[in-house]
Chains A and B, each alone.
Chain A
Amino acid sequence: SQKIEQNSEALNIQEGKTATLTCNYTNYSPAYLQWYRQDPGRGPVFLLLIRENEKEKRKERLKVTFDTTLKQSLFHITASQPADSATYLCALDKDDYKLSFGAGTTVTVRA
């Protein structure tokens, strides 16, 4: 069956360090992969989309990589700040325009 796994449920990191989150998937062949940020009690907010023919995408302090051979995406937050504390979700298109989300990784950045 198709499955999306995000690494640990929680990641605690010191301010200024780089947070690295993992999204692994099995039995998918996604055309692209998306990352979202979700704050408590609010809807997810889109951050980045990376296509299968792109190795890396950047947006300000965020960087996403996509390895279709390993079936893995890495999401990096560089120079992390307490305001980056949130839950980060990866999402893949399944067949027929269905969208599947991972369970998320909660990042806490300590000042």
Chain B
Amino acid sequence: EAQVTQNPRYLITVTGKKLTVTCSQNMNHEYMSWYRQDPGLGLRQIYYSMNVEVTDKGDVPEGYKVSRKEKRNFPLILESPSPNQTSLYFCASSALGGTGTYEQYFGPGTRLTVT
């Protein structure tokens, strides 16, 4: 079954404690991306990757890091989480077209609370 998996699904942590949210896809997609979703603000792109070792900033990259060492995995790292990073996070993947991305396949989401 084609899918994007994220772990953990729920996480409560304290300010400053480094954490990693994993994301994996089994569709051999080149493009992977992280979004955060907040009430009233919709989905905002944090980082994206067009292939292994190729990453770039989205609209809200501050406070986040990513890496793409393997095509299937795209972890999101919060080196020093702060309460304003409390949010619902989604990982997504898609094939790449000549002028942009195609349909995005989203993971189930990770609800992060930073106290």
Q: For B90, give the chain A residue with the smallest CB separation.
A: A43
Q: How far is the CB of A92 from chain B (nearest CB, A)?
A: 9
Contacts of A49 in B (CB 8 A): 102-103
Q: How far is the CB of B27 from chain A (nearest CB, A)?
A: 13
The reply to whether A100 and B59 form a contact with Cβ atoms under 8 Å apart is yes
The reply to whether B90 and A104 form a contact with Cβ atoms under 8 Å apart is no
The reply to whether A89 and B104 form a contact with Cβ atoms under 8 Å apart is no
Q: How far is the CB of A86 from chain B (nearest CB, A)?
A: 14
Tell me whether B41 is interfacial, beta carbon within 8 Å: yes
CA distance A49 to B43 in the complex (A): 18
Chain B: residues with Cβ within 8 Å of the partner, total of 29
The reply to whether A97 and B106 form a contact with Cβ atoms under 8 Å apart is no
Chain A: residues with Cβ within 8 Å of the partner, total of 24
Q: How far is the CB of A31 from chain B (nearest CB, A)?
A: 4
Q: Which residue from A41, A42, A98, A104 sits with its C-beta under 8 Å from B48?
A: A98
CA distance A64 to B42 in the complex (A): 21
Q: Which B positions have Cβ atoms within 8 angstroms of A?
A: 4, 31, 33, 35, 40-45, 48, 50, 56, 58-59, 90, 92, 96, 99-109
